[in-house]
């Protein structure tokens, strides 16, 4: 079994790709129970982490457990592990998969990145199907980890619950215990499409919620955006084969509510600052972290038209971000839409 235990520690080696806030928080959590290699592309960032045994750039001075090691050697990191956890941005996910193919690495992969790939408008599970469906180097087990989870709270030991959806029941059973300890609870699922859609599209609705809050529209408006936003997310997901009940769970409603209301939400912050009239590029430059919802909005707006789904909130967020529409006009257009039956 992948998760054999000895003296309370799992005999498993995990490679975490990506040393941002979420990747580091997951690496620290996992390394309380098993050996973890945290891979970072930036050598100066890696050097700073090695010296401090922490990630001050993204997570302050929370110290790394003894079972956590650091590497900038991609080949060594992925070959000397039992499974790979990708926390790199969605924009870099395909390139990481291509690298895995060149070194003939067929380890199971779990990803924790959320978003749609720029230009292709594909979700991570579609990207992995692109790269491995017709390849001799077949990664047969893969899945996604998602749910209402801020890195800053996980790292502080606050209660956190996530969903792990995979294409392989045995893989789920083996890896879920690696996360299910201390302050984290893990649930399993086989709805990869639904978990991916919920995790990606909630960021777009969070930008809308931030715009609304920034303009002082109050709690009623925020609640309406969350509720109607969930309807848009669900419609999109069902078109991709997702199960409807997934959107009532942690990776659907749970993650949506957190991202639309939480103080650590980068996407909500984008909306708040847009409402103040700040230019988008200035906002992104000042964040210091990736706000996946910005480019996801454009890709979802594009893809929803291709599959003929009405997604008015997403479309208006895209208009504010990329079509120079004012936040006020976007909100007024949403309010003035014709009466329709609620579904």
Write out pLDDT tens, residues 237-278.
Answer: 999 999 999 999 999 999 999 999 999 999 999 999 999 999
* Domains present along the chain, CATH in parentheses: 5-190 (3.40.50.720), 194-335 (1.10.1040.10)
Per-residue pLDDT band at 143 (split at 50, 70, 90):
very high
Rounded Cα distance between 47 and 228, Å, is 45
Per-residue pLDDT band at 343 (split at 50, 70, 90):
confident
- Partnered with residue 278 across adjacent β-strands are none
Per-residue pLDDT band at 132 (split at 50, 70, 90):
confident
**Helices (runs of H) and strands (runs of E) counted in the chain:** 16, 10
Q: Is 338 helix (H, G, I), strand (E, B) or coil?
A: coil
Determine phi and psi for 291, rounding to 5 degrees.
-110, 90
Question: Is 211's pLDDT higher than 80?
Answer: yes
Question: Is 134's pLDDT higher than 90?
Answer: no
Per-residue pLDDT band at 296 (split at 50, 70, 90):
very high
Q: Are 61 and 52 in contact (CB under 8 A)?
A: yes
Residue 174: half-sphere exposure toward Cβ, Cα within 13 Å: 22
Mean pLDDT of 36-49: 95
Beta carbons within 8 Å of 185's beta carbon, 6+ residues apart: 159, 160, 161, 162
The gap from C-alpha 26 to its chain's centroid, in whole angstroms, comes to 12
What local confidence, expressed as pLDDT, does residue 137 receive?
60
Residue of 202, 305, 325, 340 marked catalytic: 202
What local confidence, expressed as pLDDT, does residue 2 receive?
59
pTM of the model: 0.94
Q: Is 66 exposed, middle or buried (0-12, 13-18, 19+ CB in 10 A)?
A: exposed
């769970």: which residue's tokens? Answer: 249
Q: Is 311 helix (H, G, I), strand (E, B) or coil?
A: coil
Determine phi and psi for 18, rounding to 5 degrees.
110, 115
What local confidence, expressed as pLDDT, does residue 291 receive?
86
Determine phi and psi for 268, rounding to 5 degrees.
-60, -40
27: enclosing H helix or E strand: helix 21-30
Query: Considering the chain, what percentage of its residues have pLDDT values greater than 70?
Result: 96
Question: Is 4's pLDDT higher than 70?
Answer: no
What local confidence, expressed as pLDDT, does residue 186 receive?
97
As a whole number of Å, the end-to-end CA separation of the chain is 45
Q: Specify whether 5 is catalytic.
A: no
């Amino acid at each position: 079994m992948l998760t054999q235990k000895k003296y309370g520690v799992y005999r498993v080696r995990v490679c975490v790709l990506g040393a941002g806030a979420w990747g580091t928080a997951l690496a620290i959590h996992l390394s309380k129970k098993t050996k973890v290699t945290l891979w970072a592309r930036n050598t100066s960032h890696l050097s700073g982490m090695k010296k401090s045994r922490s990630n001050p750039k993204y997570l302050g001075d929370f110290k790394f457990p003894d079972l956590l090691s650091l590497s900038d050697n991609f080949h060594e990191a992925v070959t000397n592990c039992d499974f790979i956890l990708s926390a790199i941005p969605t924009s870099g996910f395909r390139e990481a998969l291509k690298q895995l193919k060149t070194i003939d690495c067929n380890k199971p992969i779990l990803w924790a990145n959320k978003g749609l790939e720029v230009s292709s408008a594909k979700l991570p599970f579609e990207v992995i199907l692109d790269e491995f469906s017709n390849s001799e180097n077949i990664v047969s087990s893969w899945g996604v980890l998602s749910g209402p989870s801020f890195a800053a709270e996980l790292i502080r030991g606050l209660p956190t619950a996530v969903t792990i959806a995979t294409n392989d029941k045995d893989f789920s059973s083996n890896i879920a215990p690696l996360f299910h300890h201390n302050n984290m609870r893990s649930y399993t699922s086989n709805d990869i499409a639904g978990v991916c859609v919920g995790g990606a599209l909630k960021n777009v609705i969070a930008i809308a919620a931030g715009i609304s809050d920034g303009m002082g529209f109050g709690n009623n408006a925020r609640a309406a955006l969350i509720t109607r936003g969930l309807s848009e997310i669900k419609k999109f997901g069902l078109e991709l084969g997702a199960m409807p009940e997934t959107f009532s769970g942690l990776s659907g409603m749970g993650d949506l509510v957190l991202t639309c209301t939480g103080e650590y939400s980068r996407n909500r912050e984008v909306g708040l600052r847009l409402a103040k009239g700040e230019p988008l590029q200035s906002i992104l430059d000042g964040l210091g972290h990736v706000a996946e919802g910005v480019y996801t909005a454009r890709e979802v707006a594009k893809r929803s038209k291709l599959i003929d789904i009405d997604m008015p909130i997403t479309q208006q967020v895209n208009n504010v971000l990329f079509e120079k529409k004012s936040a006020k006009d976007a909100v007024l257009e949403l309010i003035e839409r014709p009466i329709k039956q609620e579904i």
